[in-house]
Amino acid sequence: MKVLVATTNMNKFFEIQSIAPSWIELLSLSQFEQVPKVEEYGNSFVENSIIKAVNYANFFQIPVIADDSGLVIDALDGKPGLQSARFMEGQPYRIKMTRILEQLKGVENRNAAFHCAASFYDPKTSILLSFEGIIKGSIALEIRGEGGFGYDPIFVPLHRTKTFGELPQDLKNAISHRARAFRGLFHLISSVFHSRGPMPSGDRAG
């Protein structure tokens, strides 16, 4: 089965490819010339990942997987959350992270979690599958490490002392919210498409 991954970020694409079962051939958005702009108006990671998957799938008429992720900080009422990418838009992540550390100055509850919702939609059968991965942890007292991307250098996973910016890439990729989301999603896709054969025919329309 050919499946389009709705991302132009090749790091993310290869991370997802390393988790995908061998019977799924992944395509990336960068292989297409014309790519529609999809507005993310959902109120949760799950909704936004579905909006992306469904819209790209209807446009390209092939199965699509898409994800939406963000950092949820308890003491900031869940912010930046859904706005993780758009928070202080245009500013480098070093500036965004500095702003978050300022907001948490003297705050004792530094609990936080990375969320990632991954969704699959096949426009031919109208089957939609989705799974959310979460990794809990806390916000470090300062920016640490050069690895990863986004907010990785201020996030310390539970039971660890190093930030996602300091941990080896392969370890981070094994335990991350994105890895959990895509492992769960590929498990669902396999359950539905690989082990039981196709849906009973004529079920959708006639």
Write out the catalytic residue numbers.
68
| Contact between 137 and its own copies per CB under 8 A | no
CB of 43 to its own copies, least distance (A): 8
- Structure tokens that stand for 174 in this block: 């094994």
State how beta strands 127-139 and 64-73 pair.
unpaired
Treating both helix axes as pointing N-terminal to C-terminal, what angle do 177-193 and 10-17 enclose, rounded to 10 degrees? Answer: 50
Which of 42, 99 has the CB closer to its own copies?
42
CB of 121 to its own copies, least distance (A): 8
| Contact between 191 and its own copies per CB under 8 A | yes
| Residues with Cβ within 8 Å of residue 82, at least 6 apart in sequence | 42, 43, 44, 45, 48, 68, 70
Asked whether the beta carbons of 40 and 68 are under 8 A apart, the reply is: yes
Member of 28, 69, 84, 119 binding its own copies (CB under 8 A): 119
∠ CA 56-194-180, rounded to 5° = 65
CB of 112 to its own copies, least distance (A): 13
Would you tell me which residues interact with its own copies (CB under 8 A)? 41-44, 46-47, 50-51, 54, 113, 117, 119, 125-136, 158, 175, 180, 183-184, 187-188, 191-192, 195-196, 199-200, 203-206
